[in-house]
Structure 1
Amino acid sequence: VENRAKIFSPFAALRGYEEEISEEGWKKTRVSKKELSEEDIDRLSGLLRRIRSGMTVTVRYFQEDTVHPASPPLGIFCELTGRVERIDPVFQTLHLSDGTVRTDIRFEDLDDIDIL
């Protein structure tokens, strides 16, 4: 049985094959960034004014694919639940931490906010 297994070992030598397959999957799941309506922008602005440091929120935001840039921007929508570390009105960013990783999200990339 051991000798038979050695016959198939050359197929494992295709280095980078799994990474290439997963990258192709990533490219197929990319979508265009959607434009928010004025009502949605006003609603998000109101929610951002209510958020304070230390609060727990769930945000849905657009993450642009910077490895394969396109015009208009393509990427995926991500959802993240974390503690608000800071809201920066000057640079218009929301800083969230899930306990291990800090994520900085631009206001223009926000799609939805849920205050927990």
Structure 2
Amino acid sequence: MVKKPVSLNEKVTHDYDDIIHMEYPLKTTDYIKHPRMRVEDRAKIFAPFAALKGYEEAIAAKQKVVVPRIELSEESKEYLDLQLGKIEGLLLHGQHPIITVVFFQRDWERYGDGGEYIQFTGLVAKLNRTSRILQIVDKRIHLDDIYRIESEDLDTI
């Protein structure tokens, strides 16, 4: 675009001032090869993407420490049973304690009998001793897989 030379006293004009504020594409045409994209959709074009599918999962799997399941002693089993009794008592009174539980999660597909120990903290939703399930928020943990239960709410009982 070439600007016309003007003096300082004259109003500055350009060749395309009459069309600069027009919408594109024109609304009068029925044929639009590429319809106008919304701003939200246009932003997705520039979003990052994973060039290597599964790479992050493969790295995470390599970093996972696989260990065999630890058998609990009789004293540990009794202590866990005591803690579960306290949780059950609180649930019967309408209280939902916040606990931290360490449990064993098997990975049959990758490691056979091996797995990893996971620490999870949350509000106890349910405890069912018949089906041997402890539910913390929306995570269900089998009672046989629990290694340790800790909570300040249980220590005061």
Fold shared per TM-score above 0.5: yes
How far did residue 57 of structure 1 move? 0.8
Partner of 2:70: 34
- Residue among 6, 14, 22 paired with 2:60: 22
TM-score of the superposed pair, with normalisation by structure 1? 0.74
Partner of 2:13: none
- Residue among 86, 93, 96 paired with 2:126: 86
Cα 1:13–1:104, aligned 2, differ >3 Å: closer, same or farther? Answer: closer
Question: Looking at both structures, which has the greater relative contact order when contacts are Cα pairs under 8 Å and sequence separation is at least 6?
Answer: 1
Pairing 1:36-115 to 2, within 5 Å after superposition: 36-51=72-87, 52-53=90-91, 54-70=96-112, 73-97=113-137, 102-115=138-151
Task: State how far apart, in whole Å, the 2-side matches of 1:82 and 1:14 are.
Answer: 34
How far did residue 21 of structure 1 move? 2.8
How far did residue 106 of structure 1 move? 0.7
TM-score of the superposed pair, with normalisation by structure 2? 0.56
Cα 1:50–1:24, aligned 2, differ >3 Å: closer, same or farther? Answer: same
Amino acid of the residue matched to residue 60 of structure 2? S
**% of aligned pairs identical?**
31
Cα 1:15–1:36, aligned 2, differ >3 Å: closer, same or farther? Answer: same
Q: Determine helix, strand or coil for the equivalent of 1:24.
A: helix
Q: Determine helix, strand or coil for the equivalent of 1:19.
A: helix
Which blocks of at least 5 consecutive residues in structure 2 are unaligned?
A: 1-49, 153-157
* RMSD (Å) for aligned C-alpha atoms: 1.8
Amino acid of the residue matched to residue 82 of structure 1? G
Which blocks of at least 5 consecutive residues in structure 1 are unaligned?
A: 1-11
**Greater share of strand residues, 1 or 2?**
1
Q: How many residues align?
A: 97
Cα 1:38–1:15, aligned 2, differ >3 Å: closer, same or farther? Answer: same
Structure possessing the higher radius of gyration over alpha carbons? 2
1:48-89 CA-partner distances (Å, limit 9, x unpaired): 00013311111111111133141xx21111111111101001
Task: State how far apart, in whole Å, the 2-side matches of 1:47 and 1:65 are.
Answer: 27
Amino acid of the residue matched to residue 114 of structure 2? L
